[in-house]
Structure 1
Amino acid sequence: MTAPRIAVVGCGYLGAVHAAGMASLGFDTVGIDVDAAKVEALAAGSAPFFEPGLDAMLRGALDAGTLRFQTDAAGVDADVWFVCVGTPQQPGSNAADLTYVDAAVAALVPHLREGMLVVGKSTVPVGTAERLAAIVEPTGARLAWNPEFLREGLAVTDTLAPDRLVYGVRDGDDASVAALDAVYASILERDTPRIVTDYATAELVKVSANAFLATKISFINAIAEVAEASGADVVQLADAIGIDARIGRRFLNSGIGFGGGCLPKDIRAFRARSIELGADEALGFLDEVDRVNQRRRDRMVALVERELVAAGGGSVAMLGLAFKPDSDDVRDSAALEVAMRLAATHDVVAYDPEASAPAARRAPELRIADSLDAALADASVVALGTEWREFRDLDPADVATRTAARVVVDGRNVLDRDAWSAAGFRVVAIGRPDRDPVTTASHQEATA
């Protein structure tokens, strides 16, 4: 069987990784995006965003001649067209904005012919695929929905070695299944689970997964509120309940909550769509999931401000601006929001290993240092907003020589409290009792 020729429409985060991944598997692949600057950067082997391993995969595919980029579909003769455009939240609404999906499919129609397959990978409200199929099928092409499950920071691995594949197709559409199997042949050879289902189920898989993960995170953060009120330790609590195989420890990490370009807008769009479908009560709990998540940001701001007052004022070193480590994505970033809110009334100096430039574009009023040392210099409070390895591995004794006071507010519950306390820091964290500095005579002598 001849290897399918692939086109990827939309070369943002999802599309760029998918195009490079397909090309690295040996498929003749074309990436299409209306943004000429983005196309130019990708064609030069440089992604316009940070994702570990992506630039190397891009350059390898470009050098091998299996990947190219252009600004429209002119001259592209693909067998499989992947639609990977964004579905942001509508301004003034919780619903998903399908403008880019609709535009991408409409632009493809003149290029489609009998036997071609259009594959949606974008996260869309249930019912979207059925509507788009009515536009695609009159051309003789078919439509399938193949949701993505990428984790930022691990997107290359998740593309080349996903933990499952989901195909949403028409009942009895064996041709679309066969075409997707041809694309994912090397992945399926590793016994990757494959689920073939209908459009609606495939659309719901992604948003249901995100809703579950968001709920689990907000659950432990709600418990953190009770832990703070009662003096309990939410990390030890999570360790204990996480041993239960029915619960599991993953995603039971309390802190300032989730953010990014997926979970927040996806749970809101899911909730909005449930209301449109008349299932108002079914997903009402997602409203509280969202509220709990937002309250954690409030709590982080309050903790930092409390410690600033106790320290008699001074500056805050905000460590981290990306919504998660190994990413430069600042969309709906809890860390960036906390930094901006604090900076409105306090002296804040922020630093992030990769997200400084995107953060500066999003919040030009925020003072962002070009180095960790510059951010820490003479700070009264060190606030951890993103759990980068660089920050987790900091030597607290070394940090103590650079700050004006010894206070750290751990917004992610990842720092070694014993080590920071032993270095003379007061350690404050969400959902945990405060840890004061070690002040025994023997410790003072050892650190003198």
Structure 2
Amino acid sequence: MRMTVIGTGYVGTVHAVCMAEIGHEVLGIDIDHDRIATLAAGRAPIREAGLDELLARTVASGRLRFSTSLAEGADFARTHFVCVGTPQRPDSKAADLRYIDAVTDELARHLRPGSLVVGKSTVPVGTAARLGRRLAEVARDTEVAWNPEFLREGSAVEDTMRPERIVVGVSSPHAEATLRAVYESLLRAGAAFFSTDPATAELVKVAANSFLATKISFINAMAEVCDAAGADVTVLARAIGADSRIGNRFLEPGLGFGGSCFPKDIRAFAARAEELGAGESVAFLHEVDRINIHQRQRTVTRARQLTGGSFAGRRVAVLGASFKPGSDDVRDSPALAVAAALHQQGATVRVHDPQALDNARAALPDLTYALDIPKVCEGADLVLHLTSWPEYRDIDPAALATMVHTPLLLDARNSLDAQPWRAAGWALHALGRPMGGTS
């Protein structure tokens, strides 16, 4: 099939590359000329496992091309995936739909009859219906469907090529048949297929993110209770996670979630529910959000306590800048938020990250960055573990102890093995775990 992918950000780039990899002819479209030139040269503008190789291969094959012209895209194909951003509005917690509206309006001027516009962006429920009405005013015999993405940064190629489920929100048999044809090879490989109305498809995405965010905030709330009671949240998490009704995924206590999806998605979901008169039903999401932000404040407070009540004149080494391991994304990164707070309160902060230093430096240029862990930790009064990169689990605690001024570590991700650190003379502290614990 021929198709366009409009918007070559994180979701759009991965979708375009993977659709070309499974055999479709794909035209990626974006207004960013520099990004389009980079992609056309076979270079990925984001770091994602396996993406560079697939991009180079599909561009070389001719199945994947790039353009800045929506008119060219409308002439090229009748199936158009829209993957533009829907960030939080600057004046409220609602989603900013200006980009998706602009694309729809411009695309409508060029669409051929029989075209299908498929949204993949995360949007408030009712957006597909609204865009369908908007499209119908200009373009005849066209349709809007919704096909939400369920990508995890760091695993996005794998999630696209071997999805657990494919959800499509359609209003006609033609739209469903088209999307079945798009994903035919993935369905043959065993992906579950859910065909529903557009409103339900829109809600599936935000409901999934809200549920996962709730699990994270729940276990972090339990961590604070454990701190007050002298209990161990890591044991608590494993014990309740052994219950098959609960499961242990997303029950990792620590610094909380960040990135470009969870925070803005749960806020936009709550805002849209209030518009629909159902705000009380999802009022708990405000508390989920509050608990998550509170984790950053808790970490800063604990770090300040460990340095004697003040960061003035203290050197702090920060391990991790990306919002999660496997990604160079620092958007709404809890790690970088903590590092910035320490700097603002007088600490000299040096930051290490295996992949995200360029993005972190662009976001917070006042901090010091280095790719060498011992260099970052040299002379440190406190080491903060803020992103769970596997490289940090491989650190030799005894060797690092010789580099720091004080062997003092705050594991805000609860993912380091405490025993070897304490055996090497480190005072290891963690959120929700007693000082004497060994887990």
Q: What TM-score, normalized by structure 2, do the two folds share? A: 0.96
Structure 1 residue 52 displacement after superposition: 1.4
Aligned-partner SS, 1:139: coil
Counterparts of residues 224-263 of structure 1 (less than 5 Å) = 224-263=223-262
Structure 1 residue 371 displacement after superposition: 2.4
**2, 18, 21: which one aligns with 2:15:** 18
Check the 8 A contact 1:109/1:139 in 2, yes or no: no
Structure 1 residue 110 displacement after superposition: 2.0
Check the 8 A contact 1:421/1:436 in 2, yes or no: no
Name whichever of 237-246 and 297-306 sits farther off: 297-306
Q: Which amino acid aligns with 1:334?
A: P
Distance 1:360 1:112 in 2: 42
Q: Which amino acid aligns with 1:86?
A: G
Per-residue displacement from partner, 1:255-274 (whole Å, max 9, x unpaired)? 01000000000000000001
Per-residue displacement from partner, 1:73-109 (whole Å, max 9, x unpaired)? 2323112100000000000210000011111111211
Per-residue displacement from partner, 1:30-83 (whole Å, max 9, x unpaired)? 100000111111111222221111111100101111111111223231121000
Counterparts of residues 379-390 of structure 1 (less than 5 Å) = 379-390=380-391
Counterparts of residues 68-107 of structure 1 (less than 5 Å) = 68-76=65-73, 77-107=76-106
2:194 maps to which residue?
A: 195
1:130 maps to which residue?
A: 129
Check the 8 A contact 1:5/1:28 in 2, yes or no: yes
Counterparts of residues 254-333 of structure 1 (less than 5 Å) = 254-309=253-308, 314-333=314-333
Distance 1:295 1:327 in 2: 23
2:178 maps to which residue?
A: 179
Distance 1:273 1:51 in 2: 31
Q: Which runs of 5+ in 1 are unaligned?
A: 438-448
Check the 8 A contact 1:61/1:67 in 2, yes or no: yes
Structure 1 residue 310 displacement after superposition: 7.8
The answer to whether residue 396 in structure 2 is matched with residue 395 in structure 1 is: yes
2:107 maps to which residue?
A: 108
1:372 maps to which residue?
A: 373
**50, 64, 67: which one aligns with 2:64:** 67
Name whichever of 396-405 and 155-164 sits farther off: 396-405
Structure 1 residue 143 displacement after superposition: 1.3
Q: How many residues align?
A: 432
Structure 1 residue 357 displacement after superposition: 1.0
Distance 1:402 1:230 in 2: 34
Structure 1 residue 436 displacement after superposition: 8.6
1:358 maps to which residue?
A: 359
**49, 52, 55: which one aligns with 1:52:** 49
Per-residue displacement from partner, 1:167-206 (whole Å, max 9, x unpaired)? 1011xx1111111111101000012111110111000000
1:33 maps to which residue?
A: 30
Q: What TM-score, normalized by structure 1, do the two folds share? A: 0.94
Check the 8 A contact 1:417/1:435 in 2, yes or no: no
State the identity as a percent. 52
Check the 8 A contact 1:426/1:436 in 2, yes or no: no
Check the 8 A contact 2:71/2:107 in 1, yes or no: no
Distance 1:363 1:318 in 2: 13
1:151 maps to which residue?
A: 152
Aligned-partner SS, 2:410: strand
1:117 maps to which residue?
A: 116
Counterparts of residues 164-175 of structure 1 (less than 5 Å) = 164-170=165-171, 173-175=172-174
**CA RMSD after TM alignment:** 1.5
Per-residue displacement from partner, 1:135-186 (whole Å, max 9, x unpaired)? 234421221100000000000001111110001011xx11111111111010
Distance 2:250 2:341 in 1: 26
Name whichever of 233-242 and 72-81 sits farther off: 72-81
Per-residue displacement from partner, 1:403-433 (whole Å, max 9, x unpaired)? 1111111010000001111111111101111
Distance 1:167 1:310 in 2: 53
The answer to whether residue 335 in structure 2 is matched with residue 335 in structure 1 is: yes
Aligned-partner SS, 1:317: strand
Aligned-partner SS, 2:71: coil
Check the 8 A contact 2:320/2:385 in 1, yes or no: yes
Distance 1:432 1:277 in 2: 42
Q: Which runs of 5+ in 2 are unaligned?
A: none
Structure 1 residue 374 displacement after superposition: 1.7
Per-residue displacement from partner, 1:226-273 (whole Å, max 9, x unpaired)? 000000000000000000000000000110100000000000000000
Distance 1:108 1:74 in 2: 7
Check the 8 A contact 1:112/1:140 in 2, yes or no: no
Distance 1:184 1:196 in 2: 13
Q: Which amino acid aligns with 1:160?
A: M
Distance 1:340 1:421 in 2: 28
